[in-house]
Structure 1
Amino acid sequence: MRQLKTHPVLFNIAWAIYALAHTVATAPDWKWGAWVLAELIPAVPALWLLLRPDSAKRLATLAAVWSLLTLVKLPVVPNHSLLTLFMNLTILVCLFSDERGRSPEGRLERGFERFAPLLRLQLVLVYAFVTFHKLNTGFLSPEHSAAHDLYLETVDSYPVLPASLPAWIPVWGTLASEAWLAVGLCFRRTVPYAVGFGLVFHLLLGLHPNPYILSFSIMLFGLYSLSLPGLLEPLRRRLDPSPQEAEPTVTWSPVRRGVLGGVALVLLGLALVTPFPEPGADPAAYIRFVGRLAFLGLTFCCMASWLSLEVSRARVQALSWSALRQAPRGAQVLIVLLVFNGLCPYLGLKTGSAFAMYSNLYTEGGRCNHLLMPCKGLRVAHFQEDLVEILESSSEELNHVKERGWMLTWFEFRRLLAQKKEEGGTFFVRYRRHGEERTLRLPENASDEAFTPPAWLARKLLHFRPVPMNPEMRAEHWE
């Protein structure tokens, strides 16, 4: 394999592994129906890419298929799936821009030179948003913070972790960690240390029972290699034994061997206590279990590789604003859209998939708990202020919303009622909106405005999370 192709090939392998790991770790229950096979589609082009990772065509196929599947599922997708969509579209734009009249030979290297800096920037922007969104009174309150809840849920799955940890530690630890990663990945001198810290941080985060959090961690392990190519040095040596591009490595001193041994013991211990699916569980539960074990194995490989590097001399890639200025116009538009997506909660637009996962951010109902953003002065729409309180319903979904102490935006309420109308049969709901109580029934009130869905494009682009009646609570959604 030509040495020039080594780094793009390493990224292709990492991206394909992420696609496979995401498919395994988030495998939907088979009992949901045959349509769940669509969730497994990205595994096919991912395996195809692994068979020939130096192929630009195969990378483009994976990016295109994965993007199409995500676009079909919009607007309700996990945050990191939306980030993956932005990145896959960036890859496609960069692979096919400025290629007219040029030989297909070398397209992968040219495309990689264009999209790698942009993917690094997108990652830093998302870290910045998840940190910024958490600067609110809810997240910083230990008794209400989502960070403490996440930690307790992780302890339930891995009881070896200390359950009595003071609540302020996960709160401020999460905030400081994500802020450090957002800053540390920007500068050449700090990149190696930020990557090493990120491996540990996302190992802890990936232990949470939510499979999408684990998938997010696996995604980041691959993206870190764009900032610290030496993270995949062992794999590079297998692909290209030539020493010309080898990363500076260290002699394995007794201390480093001891640290690596300690890491191995910790990860082995976590593997042994990983909850095994209960008897009679859906077959997909066993697939997800294998995904968790694979995550721990991947973490060990990445940590061992990081420990083998001579950090002070390691080759790093920091942010490059010149790369953004020289990027294809379509890729620049994607960067702008990503930033706009992160600002949506403050603009009165969507709150789902806005990189505000588990942040306690509350911008609905005319309230705003953020410490810095003047939400009212930034509104361009009023979807978030039109709220519906469910009082009674024949729908299990609406009753669940009521029992959790949540409200819905009028937008999401109409979306749900339109679905009930499409399903046919009988249905009723009693709700309160703007202080007025109403009861609607199907089929009697089928022509009511509430059963009319929002416009198709709005339904495709906007998604609003359930709104807690108490602003200090959180809507427990990863989307």
Structure 2
Amino acid sequence: MMASVIPFLNFGPRKLSNVRSLAYTYDGLTAFTPFWAMAAIFSIAGDVYSLIGYKGPAYTILSWFVVLLSLLLLLYPRRTGILLALVAVSLLLYGLRLPVASNNKTITAVMNGAILLSAALLYLKTGGRAAIDRTAVYSQIRVVARALLAIMYFYGIFHKINTDFLDPSVSCAVGLYVPLARPFGLEDNLFGRNLAIYATFIIEAIAIVALYWKRYFAIGFILALVFHYVIPISAYSWYMDFSSLVFALYVLSIPVPASKQLYGISLEAANTLREQFGRVGTLVPGAVLMVFAVAVVMLLTLAYPEPTFDMVVHSVWILVWSVVGGVAMIVLTYVALQNLPCDNVSAPRPPAWVYVLPGLFFLSCLSPYLGLKTESSINMFSNLHTEGGETNHLLFSSPPYLFNYQNEVVKIVDSSEPYLVQQSRDGKYHILHEIKKQLRWKPEAWVTYVKDGETVTRATAATLADEMPSLLERKLLIFKLVDFSRPKVCTH
């Protein structure tokens, strides 16, 4: 019997007794797809305004398609077509969002690009005469996933080698530590603050080594799981999308014996639910959890009235992550411990292209030092400063710019846009590229600013027409607000 005979719904007194007798074979891609679907859902949940139409119909339609395809992938994890549809729609949404500040969305886009490219090349290789080889896709994209994790951890260390991240009064590591330590009265403990800073370097360094030390991969894997499970619970920022992405990439990266065991556990859990409810049973725990989380948060709003909409949404999803992420962490930790030490399984030599996408991504993350973008370079929560020809990085006396964007720092004096004036009053400066983009989006707006000691009065899209950034610049370059204060406080 084949898995396709499982009915979609099976509510009622008659339960399925033959689900476990269906023909299943190990499929590494099937072990991965539920995690990828959940990562997509957490990512969309973090951009709730796109779901409710605030950003326009294109965003809304694509966002809901991502949700729908993610749910379908949870129901049908072996359907290659659904996975590729989710990947394609996610890439379309990413393209619509460009320029994108989010690091996790950029990593996701690179991974989605690898999945789509792998499937396309394998399809063309057969001349379209055979189904896409899922085993080959899995073998290829797991190389990309491991490389992306290594790059993420490398820059997670490299960008933080700066004076302000090492300063316990402003370090972003302390920003994460404080809400976790506050219930114990340890938020001001200097030892705890310094421990948070240096533990970040240690954990990420171990994670890099363990990614390629397959026999003892579990050491870094378990440390990373705990770390990425905890940080969203701190509520310091919306970390659920990032942590769920990391979990999914790890599922691709773990050695094959561990992947097989994870597949078996997942299949057993899915079959138990399918016996009770049919195929839709795999969604039942999530639906129950979502209802429970919403109910708890709504009750809490009675005790703590007038919460913001964003706070309510964030609280609901923290509760969801606490359970979903916790279960995933426990299962993956169990799998890792069962495979410690892990037998090494030889894999076929991957095609050269699997190193191209991670290589390009690695180079793009050097952007802050080259005078290019200061967002989406794995420099989130790093306290890094590279603008205006100066840097707090300990390995550079000044950033080795190859491009001039970050030299064009301006101070807003006045504007038709109140938020720009407020940002300036808060002590922030702007990269001129960002001002030009905003004027282009709103041609009737004007800005008076100071650049290199000279005041430019009531600049508009018309007066700067000859200097407007090209389409490629607008889509690929995005810059943070500039903060010259020292020590530099933590921002995203």
| Cα distance in 2 between the residues matched to 1:129 and 1:460 | 23
Q: Closer, same or farther in 2 for the Cα pair 1:364/1:302, shift >3 Å?
A: same
Secondary structure in structure 2 of the residue aligned to 1:361:
coil
Deviation at 1:176, TM superposition (A): 2.0
Amino acid at match of 1:181: A
| Cα distance in 1 between the residues matched to 2:171 and 2:142 | 35
Q: Closer, same or farther in 2 for the Cα pair 1:51/1:313, shift >3 Å?
A: closer
Cα deviation, 1:329-380, whole Å, max 9, x if unaligned, reads 3x4331221011111111111111011001111111111222224654x422
1:372-383 alignment runs, 5 A limit:
372-373=395-396, 376=399, 378-383=400-405
1:439 aligns to 2:457 (yes or no): yes
Amino acid at match of 2:38: I
1:11 aligns to 2:32 (yes or no): yes
Q: Closer, same or farther in 2 for the Cα pair 1:433/1:300, shift >3 Å?
A: same
8 Å Cα contact 1:42-1:62 kept in structure 2 = yes
Secondary structure in structure 1 of the residue aligned to 2:387:
coil
Amino acid at match of 2:321: F
Secondary structure in structure 1 of the residue aligned to 2:35:
helix
Match of 1:366 in 2: 389
| Cα distance in 2 between the residues matched to 1:106 and 1:446 | 49
1:394-413 alignment runs, 5 A limit:
394-413=416-435
Match of 1:179 in 2: 205
Amino acid at match of 1:371: L
TM-score (norm: length of structure 1): 0.81
**Percent of aligned positions that are identical:** 27
Deviation at 1:60, TM superposition (A): 0.8
Q: Closer, same or farther in 2 for the Cα pair 1:227/1:233, shift >3 Å?
A: farther
1:468 aligns to 2:492 (yes or no): no
Deviation at 1:184, TM superposition (A): 2.2
1:86-125 alignment runs, 5 A limit:
86-99=110-123, 100-101=125-126, 103-105=129-131, 107-125=133-151
| Cα distance in 1 between the residues matched to 2:343 and 2:415 | 55
Bigger shift: 451-460 or 342-351? 451-460
Aligned counterpart for 1:82 among listed residues 94, 106, 112: 106
| Cα distance in 1 between the residues matched to 2:433 and 2:269 | 54
Bigger shift: 355-364 or 307-316? 307-316
Q: Closer, same or farther in 2 for the Cα pair 1:89/1:451, shift >3 Å?
A: same
Bigger shift: 345-354 or 182-191? 182-191
| Cα distance in 1 between the residues matched to 2:434 and 2:133 | 44
Q: Closer, same or farther in 2 for the Cα pair 1:318/1:418, shift >3 Å?
A: farther
| Cα distance in 1 between the residues matched to 2:403 and 2:80 | 42
Aligned counterpart for 1:392 among listed residues 390, 409, 414: 414
Cα deviation, 1:98-126, whole Å, max 9, x if unaligned, reads 43326534522221111112111111111
- Where structure 2 has 5 or more consecutive residues not aligned to the other structure, the ranges are 4-22, 273-291
1:292 aligns to 2:318 (yes or no): yes
| Cα distance in 2 between the residues matched to 1:471 and 1:54 | 53
Q: Closer, same or farther in 2 for the Cα pair 1:415/1:403, shift >3 Å?
A: same
1:221 aligns to 2:247 (yes or no): yes
Secondary structure in structure 1 of the residue aligned to 2:448:
strand
RMSD: 3.3
- Where structure 1 has 5 or more consecutive residues not aligned to the other structure, the ranges are 242-267
Match of 1:51 in 2: 75
8 Å Cα contact 1:95-1:112 kept in structure 2 = no
| Cα distance in 2 between the residues matched to 1:318 and 1:83 | 27
Cα deviation, 1:140-190, whole Å, max 9, x if unaligned, reads 1222322222333x359x746742332322222222222222222221133
Match of 1:354 in 2: 377
Amino acid at match of 2:117: V
8 Å Cα contact 1:349-1:381 kept in structure 2 = yes
| Cα distance in 1 between the residues matched to 2:147 and 2:198 | 25
